[in-house]
Amino acid sequence: MIQVEEIYKSFGSNDVLKGITADFKPGKNNLIIGSSGSGKTTLLKCIVGLHEPTSGEVLYDKENFTSMHFEGRVPIRKQIGMLFQNSALFDSMTVEENIIFPLNLFTEMSRGEKLDRANFCLERVNLAGKNHLYPSELSGGMKKRVGIARAISMQPKYLFVDEPNSGLDPMTSILIDDLISEITQDFQTTTVIVTHDMNSVMGIGDHILFLHNGEKWWEGSNHQIAHTDNKELNAFVFASKFMQAAREKL
Amino acid sequence: MFYSLGRYILLLRLSFRKPEKYSVYWAEIMREMVSQGIGSLGIVAIISVFIGAVATIQTAFQLVSDFIPKTVVGGITRDSTILEFSPTITALVLAGRIGSSIASQIGTMRVTEQIDALEIMGVNAPGYLISPKVITGVTMIPLLVIVSVALGLGGGYLACAASKDVSTADYVAGLSDGFNPVIVTVCAVKAIVFGFIITSICAYQGFYTKGGALEVGQSATKGVVFSCIMILFADLVISELLL
C-alpha cells in the first residue's frame, strides 16, 4: 500500500499541492482526476520521487520514501513500474531491448531468461513478435503497450500510469484501460493512474481521488461518483451535455 | 554563474558514482567509442590534411630565402601542428560534431521523459548517460588528435611535393630537426583536457534542458559555444603552464 500524508508542493510562490493525504491500496485501480493544472501529475511525480515534496511524506508499505537518499530508494524503485504520458521509450533501442533494459541492470538472469521474460511481457500486451521494431515504427497505442510491457518486466509491486489515454482513439483507450486493469488484478499491483478521461473514470475507477486547485476535493469509487452532490466534481465529470444526459438516466 | 558551476560539479560527481552493472556501462562506452571515434575520423582526416598543407605553404612563403635553411619549414610545421593546429582545431571541430550530438541526444531524452524513466527504474541517470561519454571523450579525442597530427604532417609533405618551393627531402629532414619531446606531452594534455571539456559541458547542457524541441536546439548551441570558449581558455592555460 502507498500512503501519502500531508503533501505540499510549491514551485516558487506557486502552491501546486496543498496538504494531500490519501491511501492507495493493492489490487485496485487508484485514479487521480482533476482539471488541467489541478496538480495531478505533480502529485504523481511526488509519489514516485521525480519531485521532492515541499513537506509531507510518501510511504511505500510503511517505509518512508521521502526521507530516503538515492541509494536507499533503489530497492523500492526496482518494485516500481511506470507508464509515461508519451511512453518515454528509449528511441535508440528496439522494443525487446527496451523491455530487457531494467533486467540487464538489476538482475542476474541469463540472456535466454531475459528474452523469455520480454516475450511474456509482449504477449501480455498483445504485441507478440514485435521484438525488433524501433519506437519510431510503432503507433501511439503500440507505444503505450510497449511502455506497459517495460513497466511490468521487473514484476512491479507498484504501477504508475500518467495519462494512459492521451492521444489515443476511444477503442484503443478502452483496450489500454482494460489491460492496466487486468495487470492490476493479475499481479495485485498498487496501481495509480492519472487521467481526465471519463471513460477510464467510469470503467476502471475502483478508487478515485479528485483534486481541485491542489487540494483533495473528493474521494470515492466510480459507483459513487455518479451520485455525488459535490459541485466542482459534478462540473468536471458532467461537463458535456452527453454526460449530463447519461446522468439523468442513471 | 556560480550556481551553474556548482550544478556542473555536482552533476559530474553523480556521473561517477559506482555503476549499477559494469557490463552494461562497458557496452555503452564501446558504443560511444564507435560513435565519437570512428564517426569523427572522416572530418578529422579532411581538416588535418588541409591544415597541414596550408601551414606548410604559408610557412614556406614567409621563410624561404637564401639565408634560412629550407629544413626550417618542416620544423615549424611540425611544432605548430603538434602544439596548436591538431589539438585545438580538431577539438573545436569535434565540439561541433560530438558536442552538439551529446547535448541534443541527452536534451531530447530529458524533454521526452526518457531520463525520468531511467530514474524511476532506479538507474543513476547521470552515471548511465554521462560517464560513458566523458570516458570516451578523454580516450578517443587524444587518439583522434594523434591521427590528426600524422595526417597534418602528411598534408605538409603533399604540399611540398606539389609546390616545389621546398623539397620533400628538406621537409622530412626538418620534421626531425631540433625535436623537443615536451610538445608531444603538451599536445596529449591538451587533447585529454579538451575531450573532457567537450563531453562534460555538452552533457551538462543537455541534462538540464527544459521545454521542448526549441530548447533542445538551444542547449546544443550553448554546449558548443561554451565548449569552444573553454577550449580556447584551457589552451592558453596549458600552453602557459607547460611551455
- Spell out the domains of chain A, with CATH numbers in brackets: 2-248 (3.40.50.300)
Q: How many CB pairs under 8 A join A and B?
A: 55
Q: What is the pLDDT of residue A168?
A: 82
Widest Cα–Cα separation across chain B: 73
Cell of A205: 475507477
- What pLDDT, in 10s, does the model give residues B16-37? 998 988 999 999 999 999 999 9
Mutation for testing the B interface, residue in A44, A47, A69, A105 having most B CBs under 10 Å:
A105
Q: What is the pLDDT of residue B27?
A: 94
Q: Would you tell me which residues 139-168 of chain A have a C-beta closer than 8 angstroms to some C-beta of chain B? A: 154, 160
Contact B121 A104 (CB under 8 A): no
What percentage of chain B carries pLDDT values higher than 90?
88
Query: Using a CB-CB distance cutoff of 8 angstroms, which residues of chain B are in contact with residue A106?
Result: 20-21, 121-122
Contact B122 A50 (CB under 8 A): no
B120: nearest CA in chain A? A77
Contact A105 B123 (CB under 8 A): yes
CA separation (Å) from B193 to A137, B3, B135? 40, 23, 12
Return the domain boundaries, chain B: 2-242
Q: What number is the average pLDDT over the span A143-154?
A: 92
Contact A91 B117 (CB under 8 A): no
Query: Using a CB-CB distance cutoff of 8 angstroms, which residues of chain A are in contact with residue B120?
Result: 48-50, 77, 80, 82, 160
**Residue A54 reports pLDDT greater than 90:** yes
- What pLDDT, in 10s, does the model give residues B168-209? 999 999 999 889 999 999 999 999 999 999 999 999 999 999
Torsion of CA B197, B199, B204, B207, to 10 degrees: 180
First-residue to last-residue Cα distance in chain B: 30
Q: What is the pLDDT of residue B45?
A: 97
Q: How far apart are CA A232 and CA B158, in angstroms?
A: 81
Query: Using a CB-CB distance cutoff of 8 angstroms, which residues of chain A are in contact with residue B123?
Result: 102, 105
Q: Would you tell me which residues 74-133 of chain A have a C-beta closer than 8 angstroms to some C-beta of chain B? A: 74-75, 77-78, 80, 82, 84-86, 88-91, 101-102, 104-106
Q: How far apart are CA B79 and CA B61, in angstroms?
A: 17
